[in-house]
Homo-oligomer: A and B are copies of this chain.
Amino acid sequence: MEVITFGESMVLFYPDATGPLRYATSFRKTIAGAESNVAIAMARLGHSVGWFSKLGADEFGRYILSVIRGEGVDVSRVLTDPARNTGLLFKERFGFSNPNIYYYRKDSAASSLSAADLDAAYISGVRILHITGITPALSPAARGAVFEAIRIAKESNVLISFDPNIRLKLWNIETAKPILLEIASKADILLIGEDEGKLLIGTEVPEKIAEAFMNKGCSTVVVKLGKKGCYAENLKEKAYVEGYLIEKVEDTVGAGDGFSAGFLAGILRGLGLREAAEYGNGVGAMATLVSGDMEGFPTYEQLMTFIGKTGYVDR
């Protein structure tokens, strides 16, 4: 296994039309989860990836399991909590603005994930452990699991990748800030958005965000800049890497997770900072060509063609 990640995946219900949900007549079912998005994207790029979480002993848990397993991600460490439901979320869309989200995840199975649920041997054998700032927001137990996983990884020289993924619907910034900063300070690779820099460090300037976290101990910081691309810095170099132009964006959800997956794939392949950032930009851009969180993630061949490393790709 090259990469492991863990965190809550939920069943996501999309309404059949824009507008207030009370007028929607039917809903399409799919899955959502920042960590499973990264796992799926990396599996599609050809890496061996493991993902785990705690699921309810219900049909929605079985659904999530079969989708993620179907994508070729190792799910051998997924746990089941027979006493809790699998979490749900509903999206509500208005024109081009961001969707509203209604969560049914309080006290979900995933929120009961704890340090005791971790298989240390599973984690210690990989090259990268990818963590997000959503998991510590779920519950004290889940927060404990995050710190224990970090401890295990550190012990075994597993690289720690961290995406803060700040969710103000789950906790307020006062509670979140010290915890996320602490996790970031333990991470090797930090993948962060401009707006998250503002919330955690007080600046949106990419170089300043990077500087702050390099000072805290990160060896690589990438500031995601949406369609503009990213700013990346490690101990040896720093660079703005421009994004790919998408004529018509179908759906930006999943682009950030795609970026992370692309960047980490580049790192795993031993690429330099700039090229890994191009991979990140490429996967992120391709994710926006398709509605749905993870349907648009490319294979390695598709990515190479998209970012111009090979000839025409006939998907």
Which of A's residues lie within 8 Å of B, judged by CB?
13, 16-29, 58-60, 62-63, 66-67, 69-72, 85, 88, 92, 94-97, 100, 102-104, 106-107, 246-250, 288-292, 295-296, 314-315
Contact = CB atoms under 8 A, between A and B. Distances in A.
Contacts of A292: 17, 19, 23
A90 to B, nearest CB: 8
Given A92-B315, A95-B248, A248-B96, A23 B295 contact: yes
Nearest to A58: B102
Nearest to A61: B22
Contacts of A72: 66, 69
A25 B25 contact: yes
A11 B288 CA distance: 27
Contacts of A71: 66, 70
Given A69-B72, A100-B314, A295-B23, A289 B59 contact: no
Which 8 A-B residue pairs are closest in the complex by CB-CB distance?
A70-B70, A22-B63, A19-B290, A21-B59, A66-B70, A96-B248, A95-B248, A19-B295
A19 to B, nearest CB: 4
A266 B72 CA distance: 29
A62 B22 contact: yes
Specify which of A59, A60, A96, A106 lies most central, judged by the most chain B CB atoms within 10 Å of its CB: A59
A96 B290 CA distance: 10
A315 B66 contact: no
A92 B60 CA distance: 12
Contact of A100 (B22, B102, B315): B315
A153 B103 CA distance: 38
Contact of A66 (B22, B92, B296): B22
Contacts of A19: 250, 289-292, 295-296
Contact of A104 (B16, B88, B295): B88
B27 A92 contact: no
A60 B22 contact: yes
Contacts of A60: 21-22, 102
A121 B288 CA distance: 43
B66 A18 contact: no
Contacts of A23: 292, 295
Nearest to A104: B104
B29 A28 contact: no
A187 B70 CA distance: 32
A96 B247 contact: yes
Contact of A29 (B24, B66, B104): B24
